[in-house]
Amino acid sequence: MDSTEVISARSTHGRTPLDAYRATRMPYLVHGVLMIALGVAAVGLGAGIVSFLDEFRADALNSIFGDPGPVRHFVLFDLGTYALFAVILLTLAVTTTAQWATGRQLDFPVLGTIPVILVGVAIGVTISVPWMTPAAVVGRRVDTSFGSPDELWNGWDWAWYRFDLWGPIVAIALAVCALLVAAIVRMRRSRTRLALRHVLSHGAIVPGIVTAAPSFVRTHDLATSPTNTRMRGDLVARFTDPTGTVRHVAQVSAFHVGDVPVVGQPVAVLMDPQAPADTKRVWLAPTGARAERDFRAWRVDT
């Protein structure tokens, strides 16, 4: 496996039944519908959060013996409770359908669950603050039952009073930050995948040998039970480029339990002959790899 024979990277790409199923786009359709449902449930969760916080806000703004008028937020609290369970279940479903669509864990076709949930929560918080319990008298707590002296609000009370302003701002800011982070991660991953496709079309696949492999402590159950769990570690391989130079490449990789390579195991190395020293344009995969999905299987940033 140390020979410098170059294998064309433009070999025929094999297809599996799972690839044929993904080609129907049905996993993407199911994933999209569930993602929309997750966003709707998150709106209800945001309303429930407002209802929960309104309990503390009402205690801060109004005397326990006062009469703030009708409390209007209990229906939102019930909605938020059901929405919380819906968000949990839909998050699991969306994560599963994303893996069906992309073939990788925690690899979402468009957005991950966290940005969608935070956007939904921000919407729910924004549209629910008008339902919060009003202050009986702005600036002080009034005892309408026993006639005790009024209590002036302190700074904390005024902060609660203006929750209708800063609450939605905080929720929207968190949602925007999540979207920005998701966009940055997706752009980086897209650039890496474009580079992979370019090297796969114009580069070469050469044989390599694993010189250092991640070692994981496995229990008996982890080693024998069927699971989709993937573990990360550094994989190092030695290969000879088309010019005869021996090189080493380290790649942060993820492996299914039981599929971790061992030292001395042969691997396929996809490289760019025009930039053999650029480790960012080198991919490791099991021997016999030819297709894009093969070289994406191990490397975590694709």
54, amino acid identity:
D
Q: Which 3-state string (H, E, C) describes the chain?
A: CCCCCCEECCCCCCCCHHHHHHHCCHHHHHHHHHHHHHHHHHHHHHHHHHHHHHHHHHHHHCCCCCCCCCCCCHHHHHHHHHHHHHHHHHHHHHHHHHHHHHCCCCCCCCCCHHHHHHHHHHHHHHHHHHHCCCCCCCCEECCCCCCCCCEECCHHHHHHHCHHHHHHHHHHHHHHHHHHHHHHHHHHHHHHHHHHHHHHHHCEEEEEEEEECCCCCCCHHHHHCCCCCEEEEEEEEEEECCCCCEEEEEEEEEEECCCCCCCCCEEEEEECCCCCCCHHHCEEEECCCCCHHHHHCCECCC
Residue range 252-277: mean pLDDT, rounded: 85
Predicted local confidence at residue 274, as pLDDT? 87
Q: Cβ of 97: how many Cβ atoms within 10 Å?
A: 22
Q: Find out whether 207 and 3 touch, Cβ atoms under 8 Å.
A: yes
Instruction: Tell me which of 123-127, 149-153, 194-198, 269-273 is least confident.
Output: 149-153
pLDDT in tens, 51-94: 899 888 888 887 655 555 555 556 777 888 999 999 999 999 99
pLDDT per position as a tens digit, 6-63: 444 444 444 555 455 555 677 788 888 999 999 999 999 999 999 899 888 888 887 6
Each residue's pLDDT tens digit, 123-153: 999 999 988 888 877 887 776 555 556 678 8
pLDDT at residue 238 is higher than 70: yes
